[in-house]
Amino acid sequence: MKSLILHTATRLLMALLLIFSLFLFFRGHDEPGGGFIGGLFGAGAITLYALAFGAEKAQQTIRISPLTMIAWGFVALIISGILPMIVNEPFLTGQWLFLDFADTEVKLSSPLIFDIGVYLCVVGFILAVIFSLEEE
């Protein structure tokens, strides 16, 4: 779609949307947010870009193919599932690591890896659909 307004707005909005998607993603677990919603926003940002500049350009920009993204999402899911099995706990049991940086406590966990997997799967799936629809 050739529209100056859309092009300009997309450049501005896309960065905003991506940052917001990351914000939602990290906000998850205890508050509304997480991999799924974050993924929807992330996919929304790239979809907007694909609408403004075409699917081909969007594909070049994100470099990685949507299906590969889904596959890496699966990899993350499997890792987060298998990690607890190493310490003899059932598949998918949350493993937590609390780190102290100055005054803030940073929580690292296997649910975070799981959420990354969900994020990648959601983004990959939506983009796969959008790109193949654009091709038609």
Partner 1 sequence: MNLLLILPIAIPLTAATIGLLFRKSPMVQRASGVIGMAALLVSVIYLSWQTYTDGIQVIQLGDWAAPFGITLVMDLLSAAMLIITAIMGLVVSIYSLYDIDRVKEQYHYYPLLHILLIGINGSFLTGDLFNLYVWFEVMLISSFILLALGNRKTQLQGAVKYVIINLVSSLVFLFGVAMVYGMTGTLNMADLAVKIAEVENTGLVTAVSMIFIVSFGIKAAIFPLFFWLPASYHTPPVAVSAIFGGLLTKVGVYALIRVFTLIFTHDIGYTHTILLWVSGFTMVCGVLGAAAQMEFRKVLSFHIVSQIGYMIMGLAFNTKLGIMGAIFYIIHNILAKSNLFLISGIAQRLTGTFELKQLGGLYRQYPWLAVLFLISAFALAGFPPLSGFWAKLSLVKAGLQIEQYVITGVAILVGLLTLFSMVKIWAYAFWMPMEEENKSEQFGKMKLMGAGGLNLLVTPVIILAAIIIIVGLFAEPFLSFCMLAAEQLLNPEIYIESVLGES
Estimate the crossing angle of helix 66-86 against helix 110-135, to 10 degrees. Answer: 160
User: Are 87 and 42 a contacting pair, CB within 8 Å?
Assistant: no
Residue whose CB is less far from partner 1, 20 or 74: 74
Q: Give dist(CA 40, CA 59) in Å, integer.
A: 17
Indicate whether 97 belongs to the interface with partner 1 (CB under 8 A). Answer: no
Indicate whether 118 belongs to the interface with partner 1 (CB under 8 A). Answer: no
User: Are 118 and 35 a contacting pair, CB within 8 Å?
Assistant: yes
Site string for partner 1, 40-79 (x = CB under 8 A): ---------------------------xx-xxx-xx-xx-
Indicate whether 89 belongs to the interface with partner 1 (CB under 8 A). Answer: yes
**Which member of 90, 100, 103, 136 binds partner 1 (CB under 8 A)?**
90
User: Are 117 and 73 a contacting pair, CB within 8 Å?
Assistant: yes
Query: Can you give the binding site for partner 1, defined by CB under 8 A?
Result: 67-68, 70-72, 74-75, 77-78, 81-82, 84-85, 88-94
